[in-house]
Amino acid sequence: MHPADIAKSIHDSPDIAEKRRLFEDIASSSTKAHVLSELSSEHVVQVLRGIPLTELSALIKELPRDDATDILRVLPQEAVPAILRGIAHEEAAQLECLLTYPKRSAGGVMTTQYVAIHQDATVDTAFKAIQKSSIEEMIYEIYVTNDQGNLMGVVALRALLRASRKARITEIMDREPIFVTTETNQEEVADKVARYNLLSIPVVHPTGKLMGIITIDDVVDVIQEETTEDMLRMSGISTTEQDDPQFYVSGLQEAKRRLPWIFVNMLGSILAGYILWFFRYTIQEVVAIISFIPIITALGGNAGLQSSTLVIRSLAIGRIDRRDLWTLCVRESWVALLMGSICGGVILLITLAWHAHVMLGVVVGFSMTLTFLIAVVMATALPILLKYNGLDPAIAAAPLITTATDIASITIYLMTATVLLSSLS
């Protein structure tokens, strides 16, 4: 059974005792280690609880350094020094160094296991370096450095295979490799790797020294993580960093995670409710007004959510940036006017058929069009403004947009109704 499949069965088991039994039943400690690296952090903690420190050290030793660091990050921090003491000194020092980088930076994702050779070397030396290396991670590129250890170039394994054994490495290397620094955010790393179709990307210290590499299989995990986080934020499930939709945490923990946005929503909708209450005399006078409240608020919210999703996703995959704000607002306003006037027209006809009240139809139709326009412009501008103030645009989605459009649509509708109906009745 592949470690990923064992990890899946552990994920799927209903209770912790069963999860731990499954994990302890794994015969080889190398498989055990690889299963660990496939588990979500919550599960790592659960299956490792109570396992002797010496055994933990043995498991950590089996893993590629980037995966080892991920495991060490989620274990109780007071246990880490003891676990590292059970590992060869040099290896422990490497892990300790990797642990100093923030989790979601390039330094926090990279591994220091790669093959680097000096720029004076030949292709033959490079071959020998690969054959000698004990790295279990995939090698598909080797890195060329100078006396200071600065990154000078990259050679694809394929280019190495095709070159003459006597050629100098500088003759076949790519002299302008794409790289990131240890501080680069993991989302930006993923963007670069995806955009330039890279297999791995070197990570350098701001001084130019080669510090590690990030391989594409880890970038795939980063993309999944960041997308999950965006989607959970967009629907108001969480405002903190979340790698994983969690179904195994208790209902109470989950309710705690979701309630903050529900409360924001409650505050906003109390305001919307207050506005309805404020206009109660208008409503009592023309009671048919109430039959359009759900229509105006639902459609406004939906139109806003369409725009914000489009903008948030386009920002995430690098399709638009701040400079596009004006163009986008113009385009979206045009879309809103089109949709708003079509929906407004339909609603006007429905009002005539339902309540036989021409002026009410005009009020509803006009409010609908204006609501679309305001909802869409807010939903387009807000994510972009958030992003360029260093906030995550995803938090601008469902909870904020729908609350804001509820308030706007009810105000527009009832103000229009009060003005037009009273001036004409």
Q: Name which of residues 122 to 181 contact a copy of itself (CB under 8 A).
A: 127, 130-131, 138-140, 156-158, 161-162, 178
Other beta carbons within 10 Å of 132: 8
Q: Which of 87, 117, 173, 320 binds a copy of itself (CB under 8 A)?
A: 320
- Which segment (77-85, 95-103, 104-112, 332-340) binds a copy of itself by CB under 8 A? 332-340
Considering CB under 8 A, how many residues would be counted as binding a copy of itself? 109
Residue 154 and residue 126 in contact, taking contact as beta carbons nearer than 8 Å: no
- Under the criterion CB under 8 A, does residue 309 sit at the interface with a copy of itself? yes
- Which segment (22-30, 79-87, 106-114, 333-341) binds a copy of itself by CB under 8 A? 333-341
Strand, coil or helix: 64:
coil
- Under the criterion CB under 8 A, does residue 235 sit at the interface with a copy of itself? yes
Q: Which of 79, 88, 259, 419 binds a copy of itself (CB under 8 A)?
A: 259
Residue 20 and residue 33 in contact, taking contact as beta carbons nearer than 8 Å: no
- Under the criterion CB under 8 A, does residue 185 sit at the interface with a copy of itself? no
CA-CA distance, 1 to 92, in Å (whole number)? 30
Q: Tokens 């033959």, residue?
A: 124
Q: Which of 221, 239, 329, 359 binds a copy of itself (CB under 8 A)?
A: 221
Q: Which of 274, 322, 391, 424 binds a copy of itself (CB under 8 A)?
A: 274
- Under the criterion CB under 8 A, does residue 232 sit at the interface with a copy of itself? yes
Other beta carbons within 10 Å of 178: 13
Q: Which of 108, 202, 301, 393 binds a copy of itself (CB under 8 A)?
A: 301
CA dihedral (70, 73, 76, 81) in degrees, to 10, reads 100
Task: Identify the DSSP state of 182.
Answer: T
Shortest reach from residue 316's CB to a copy of itself, in Å: 9
CA-CA distance, 158 to 128, in Å (whole number)? 15
- Under the criterion CB under 8 A, does residue 73 sit at the interface with a copy of itself? no
- Which segment (22-30, 144-152, 166-174, 252-260) binds a copy of itself by CB under 8 A? 252-260
Q: Which of 24, 280, 322, 358 binds a copy of itself (CB under 8 A)?
A: 280
- Under the criterion CB under 8 A, does residue 388 sit at the interface with a copy of itself? no
Residues forming beta bridges with residue 22, ordered by sequence position? none
- Under the criterion CB under 8 A, does residue 23 sit at the interface with a copy of itself? no
CA-CA distance, 216 to 222, in Å (whole number)? 9
- In what order do the strands lie in the sheet containing 116-118? 116-118, 141-145, 151-156
CA-CA distance, 164 to 162, in Å (whole number)? 7
- Under the criterion CB under 8 A, does residue 187 sit at the interface with a copy of itself? no
Shortest reach from residue 66's CB to a copy of itself, in Å: 12
Q: Which of 95, 154, 180, 305 binds a copy of itself (CB under 8 A)?
A: 305
Nearer to a copy of itself, 59 or 310 (CB): 310
CA-CA distance, 214 to 140, in Å (whole number)? 12
- Under the criterion CB under 8 A, does residue 227 sit at the interface with a copy of itself? yes
Residue 24 and residue 46 in contact, taking contact as beta carbons nearer than 8 Å: no
- Under the criterion CB under 8 A, does residue 395 sit at the interface with a copy of itself? no
- Under the criterion CB under 8 A, does residue 258 sit at the interface with a copy of itself? yes
CA-CA distance, 393 to 332, in Å (whole number)? 17
- Under the criterion CB under 8 A, does residue 13 sit at the interface with a copy of itself? no
CA dihedral (74, 76, 77, 82) in degrees, to 10, reads -110
CA-CA distance, 108 to 157, in Å (whole number)? 26
Nearer to a copy of itself, 76 or 294 (CB): 294
Q: Which of 251, 353, 423, 425 binds a copy of itself (CB under 8 A)?
A: 251
Nearest partner of 83 among 112, 101, 51, 60, judged by Cα? 60
Nearest partner of 58 among 85, 79, 87, judged by Cα? 87
- Under the criterion CB under 8 A, does residue 254 sit at the interface with a copy of itself? yes
Strand, coil or helix: 212:
strand
User: Which residues, numbered 31-70, are part of the site for a copy of itself (CB under 8 A)?
Assistant: none
Task: Give the length of the chain.
Answer: 425
- Under the criterion CB under 8 A, does residue 363 sit at the interface with a copy of itself? no
- Which segment (21-29, 83-91, 340-348, 383-391) binds a copy of itself by CB under 8 A? 340-348
Q: Which of 295, 360, 362, 421 binds a copy of itself (CB under 8 A)?
A: 295
